Structure 1
Amino acid sequence: MKKISLKKYTDFLVKETETLLNIDSPTGYTENAAAWVLDEFTKLGFDAKLTNKGGVLVSFGGSDKDNGLLLEAHVDTLGGMVAEIKGNGRLRLTNLGGMNPNNAETENVRVVTKFNGVYEGTFQLCNASIHVNGEYNNVKRGWDTCEVVLDEDVKKKEDTEKLGIAVGDIVCFEPNVRITKTGYIKSRFLDDKLSVGILLGLAKYIRDEKIVPKRALYAHITVFEEVGHGGSGNVPEGCTEAVSVDMGCVGEGLQCTEKQVSICAKDSGGPYSYPVVKGLIEAAKASGADYAVDIYPHYGSDVEATLGAGNDLRHGLIGAGVYASHGYERSHRDGAENVLRLLVAYALA
């Protein structure tokens, strides 16, 4: 297979990713992001609809409707929820998904109330002034030892309640998006908004090149992956295979870098379908995609929820290499382009 130029589609998907990263969407608060994703796929000319669960299901067409391929990515992210308004007016949080207080400390946040607007604050260690707190270095960071300090004149619980802040309100952490001149993409929540951007890039490629896939091809942008049940429903009739497009792991003991597409052979849920893993590797080689095959020690994906719901499917997992997962994450446009290259070769062959 001749190596095709995908630069303009990579440029497009990076811009789409940047926009999406700046739309708050922690698990349970994804309507705005899902609406944006729906609109972007629709503008590219594809049939997209919202599911009852709040995700986005897209059809790319295809002639063989009895051997369909479903690509899954998720737009929900980590975040927090107000668990308690403390006596001093500050907020104790509970996590949404795998948000880790060690990675969240000192981050700016937005508290989204149900009826009274949005308030800003900062997630800090309790008694965060190091010149005052002699135990600052010894305190284990946790949801009970950290708090949201609101950027409002509140001194007691009643002051905060008067603002309309209540238990159960969503807390969104600032993503801090930055794209460097050298092509690195740095932000919270690249997991998995970068993959959504990649699928939008694939959609633009299909449209611009006037491609009709041989297999019926679908995308499901899920909204509850971070809590384990994102991909448990909405599998189109006739699908025989599902591939999660999620983050590829980068870290000690693994081969993948931020500039590669990672093909996962096994994660915490067990091995992925051998024929799918083999086919993905063959497509990567044929297309010239720079790839690595890895085993993820602490990981689960949408497609495992799809299987857990009883669907009879072959399954696989790929993604752009992402370093510092569930923290301040980093990938590279080359990694995203290699995922796109693999998808073009595998899904559109």
Structure 2
Amino acid sequence: MSLPKVDETIELIKKLVEIPSPSGNTNEVISFVEGYLTDLEVETKRNRKGGLIATLPGEDQSNHRMLTAHVDTLGAMVKEIKPSGRLKLDLIGGYKYNAIEGEYCEIETASGKKFSGTILMHQTSVHVYKDAGKAERNQANMEVRVDEKVSSPEQVRELGIEVGDFVSLDPRVQVLDNGFIKSRHLDDKASVGILLQLIRSVKKGQVALPYTTHFLISNNEEIGYGGNSNITPETVEYLAVDMGAMGDGQTTDEYTASICVKDASGPYHYGLRKNLVRLAEENNIGYKLDIYPYYGSDASAAIRAGNDIVHGLVGPGIDSSHAYERTHKDSIEETTKLLWYYIQADLV
């Protein structure tokens, strides 16, 4: 019986972030996860929303626990094809236009064709636009320059590009020798990688779990309702595994596991929080308690949907959330260790 190896987890995270999966267009990455779990001979099923549920039987089959991480990411849709042949965007998820200025992107048509582009200010050229640095970064001023010979809506439509096509952001993932991993979409593919490696270790090590445990890989978290359904009536504890947000006034860092005590939805279950802290302290796991004022998780969504569950939230610390994010292998490792001991612990 051994813990997942952090370097292998990071390699898996790298593969995950390289698969485009804006909310609403996640079949490719769900299929990847499904294949990973099928190879481990883990029972899985898809829900009607397109998420994936994996189940590991436990000794107690009358009381269940569920862990969830979301594989959907921020992205955009084509809102309008402009007279110039450039594209106006409508954002998917909660982020600001300034976070994607200058970013490479991919437009996927309804037929599956993919085209390269760059997200730019209309007033980008300082040799032409006097207000290039002062103009507001908003929907009116930001556009996609398509990397094709197009200068009109008709030429763009001849490519097959249309309103409603999904636009995904280049993750620009890098794994550094000093342990840092930086990429878009570490929220929440870092956590998905952790859960998949956790399942692998349980299966390979033939670990006997005390309770039947479900793992929901949700695919609509960024738009608010990824993990609010498919929770069995036997489920007692529901733990969201999602990023810990960093910034002024926060305790979360890139080297420990973050345990959320409250977010915009209110306090998380006090007993479960204390149990997570106890497990961390008994097993010498680095952790930080934190409050995220502008945050909601799949556990929040599950509570709002009326589920009678004990809910919690933990995850690796992520810098610059919903922009070009970064974490460290120490945080991945500490979060993995906390979850390893959690899935083998008694319910609250």
Which of the residues 171, 183, 197 maps onto 2:167?
A: 171
**What letter matches 2:301 in structure 1?**
A
Post-superposition, which runs of at least 4 consecutive aligned residues in structure 1 deviate over 3 A? none
Given the two structures, how large is their TM-score scaled by the length of structure 2? 0.97
SS at match of 2:5: helix
Indicate the residue corresponding to 1:187 in structure 2.
Answer: 183
Deviations 1:43-80 (A, max 9, x none): 12211122111011001211212221100100000000
* 1:34 lines up with 2:42 in the alignment: no
In structure 2, the residue matched to 1:113 is 109
Q: Number of matched residues? A: 345
Q: State the alpha-carbon separation in 1 of the partners of residues 248 and 146 from structure 2.
A: 38
The within-5 A match list for 1:200-211 is 200-211=196-207
Is the CA contact (8 Å cut-off) linking 1:21 and 1:190 kept in structure 2?
A: yes
Deviation of 1:5 after TM superposition, in Å, equals 6.6
Cross-structure match for 1:312: 308
SS where residue 290 of structure 2 aligns? Answer: strand
Assess if the C-alpha contact under 8 Å between 1:67 and 1:216 holds in 2. yes
How does 1:273-284 map onto structure 2 within 5 Å? 273-284=269-280
The residue aligned with 1:52 is 48
Q: Which residue of 1 aligns with 2:63?
A: 67
- The superposition leaves residues 97-124 of structure 1 with CA deviations (integer Å, 9 ceiling, x where unpaired) of 1132101000011000002611111000
Q: Which residue of 155, 175, 197 corresponds with 2:151?
A: 155
CA RMSD of aligned residues (A): 1.2
Sequence identity percentage = 40
Aligned to 2:250: 254
Q: Which runs of 5+ in 2 are unaligned?
A: none
**Structure 1 residue runs without a partner (length 5+):** none
Maintained 8 Å contact 1:26/1:80: yes
Instruction: Report deviation, 1:9.
Output: 2.2
Superposed, 1:1-349 pairs within 5 Å as 6=3, 9-115=5-111, 117-349=113-345
1:262 is displaced (CA, Å) by 0.2
Q: What letter corresponds to residue 140 of structure 1 in structure 2?
A: E
CA distance in 1, matches of 2:329, 2:91: 30
Deviations along 1:269-311, one digit per CA (max 9) or x if unpaired, are 0000000100010011112110000011110000111111111
Counterpart AA for 2:340: V
Mapped partners of 2:282, 2:342: distance in 1: 10
Query: So what's the TM-score if we normalise by structure 1?
Result: 0.97
* Conserved 8 A contact 1:116-1:163: no
